[in-house]
Amino acid sequence: MVQTSSLKSVLPAVNKEWTLFLDRDGVINVEKPMDYVRNWEEFQFNPGVLEALRLFAQQFGRILVVTNQRGIGKGYMTEQDLHDIHDKMQEKIQKHGGRIDKIYYAPELDDDGPRRKPNPTMGLEAMKDFPDIDASKSFMIGNTFSDMEFGRNIGAQTIFLPTTRTEPPMPHPLVDFLFPDLLEAAKSFQLTSTQ
C-alpha cells in the first residue's frame, strides 16, 4: 500500500509562484525496461498523466521536464528524434489542457556527465532561463533516487512515484512525499490548495 506522505504530513498549498520539475520516463510516459523510447511510435503516456498535467497547469506557475536521455549518447537515437518525440508529446498535452514550459535533457553517456541527474545542472539552467523560479517553492517528481537527489541538489521538495521501482521504506532522507502515480499527486495538490 503506497503511503501518501512521509516526512511531512501535508503537501503545502501551491500557487503560480511555485515551480514543478518532472522526470519523463516512468513518470510522464511508460518506461521501456533496459531500453529507450526511441521514437514517437514507442512513446505511451502513463495512465492519468494527461489529466494530471491539466491539473498541474492550473496549480503551478512553471512546469519543467528534466530527463536523462543516454540513448542519444549510445547512438540509439538522434537529438532530432528526441525533439520529434517532445514536440508531439507537448502537442498532445496542450490538447488536453496541460502544458510544459520547457524540456531539459542530458544526452551524455557517462554516469558522471555534468548534465545528468543527480547533478543539478539542468535545474540551474532552468533557474537561469526563468529567474522567477524560487527553489524553496519547487517540487521535483520522479521515479528514481537519482531524481530525488537532483531535487535535493537544487533545493526542491521531492515526490517519489514507485511506478517502475520498489516503494522506498519511509521515512527516507531523499523523499518528502510518496504517491502511487502522477495523477494522485496532482489531485492531492489540488485538494490542499483549495482548502
Neighbours of 80 (CB within 10 A): 9
| pTM for the predicted model, two decimal places | 0.94
Cβ atoms 97, 57 nearer than 8 A:
yes
Strands (E), 52-164: 62-68, 102-106, 138-142, 157-160
Torsion over CA of 146, 60, 102 and 106, rounded to 10 degrees? 0
**pLDDT per residue over 23-54, tens digit each?**
999 999 999 988 999 999 999 999 999 999 99
Which residue has 517528481 as its cell numbers?
Answer: 141
Is pLDDT above 90 for 112?
A: no
Domains present along the chain, CATH in parentheses: 19-194 (3.40.50.1000)
Is pLDDT above 70 for 8?
A: no
Neighbours of 33 (CB within 10 A): 6
Is pLDDT above 90 for 183?
A: yes
Percentage of the chain modeled with pLDDT above 90: 85
**25 noted as active-site residue:** yes
